[in-house]
Amino acid sequence: MKMKEKGVLAVVSGFSGAGKGTIVSKLINNYDGYALSISATTRAPREGEVDGVHYFYKEHEEFEKMIEQDELYEYARYLDNYYGTPKAFVREQIAAGKDVILEIDVQGALQIKKKYPGVLLVFVTPPSIEELSRRLRGRGTETEEQIQGRLDRARDEAVYMDEYDFILIVEDPETGTRKLHDLIQAVHCRPSMKKAFISDIRAQLDTERGE
């Protein structure tokens, strides 16, 4: 009997401007079997945002209770609000066989690795910092000071690049998306993901020998 395989949890981090948002949305839209993790937050919904779609919106006390009860893989505070990754949603999706993608910063990624050792950590980067600056300036939406801020942050994040399982160098979004898909599919081949298959193979061998 073929057992339904559980999904992979993959965290995608990377420099701001590296194109990770684009490749994550292409992955979700172009391939089957993926789900995006939905974070919990205490910030108010923005115009057009929907509870359970963009975020799970929580009261401050509710969020702190989730922290106390260890219901989050990781969390952080930005501008007086909490943001975190609820375990329940990820677990449900993984049990249903979905590969769950989490777009999260380096600190969050390293926190998750402690609580979920099988997690796949992928770091997305452009081929060079020259290219990163070009992409950031090409957006035309930010001041020079904001761009410098992003580059400073990139320097802080680069310190942790070798904690990741894979460094995904994105030349163009299409190739980057396919490479990300291939990396996640490779994780499905790990022995830890194939436990049911392995014991089935062993049982078949035992049967063969008994005949």
Which residues of the shown chain bind ligand 5GP in the complex (CB under 6 A)? 39, 43, 74, 76, 78, 83-85, 104-105, 108
Residue 95 half-sphere exposure toward CB, CA atoms < 13 A: 6
Give CA separation, 64 vs 32, 59, 82, 102, in Å. 35, 9, 9, 21
Q: Which CB sits closer to ligand 5GP, 76 or 158?
A: 76
Q: Which CB sits closer to ligand 5GP, 84 or 176?
A: 84
d(CA 184, CA 31): 12
Q: Which CB sits closer to ligand 5GP, 85 or 93?
A: 85
Q: Write down the least CB distance from residue 7 to ligand 5GP, Å.
A: 18
Q: Write down the least CB distance from residue 83 to ligand 5GP, Å.
A: 4
Count of residues making up the chain: 211
Query: What is the number of other CB atoms lying within 10 angstroms of the CB of residue 61?
Result: 9
d(CA 56, CA 75): 13
Q: Write down the least CB distance from residue 158 to ligand 5GP, Å.
A: 18
The dihedral region occupied by 54, where left means phi > 0, alpha psi between -120 and 50, and beta the remainder, is alpha
Q: Write down the least CB distance from residue 206 to ligand 5GP, Å.
A: 46
Q: Which CB sits closer to ligand 5GP, 65 or 189?
A: 65
Q: What is the largest CA-CA distance in the chain?
A: 75
Q: Write down the least CB distance from residue 194 to ligand 5GP, Å.
A: 30
Nearest residue to ligand 5GP, using CB?
A: 39
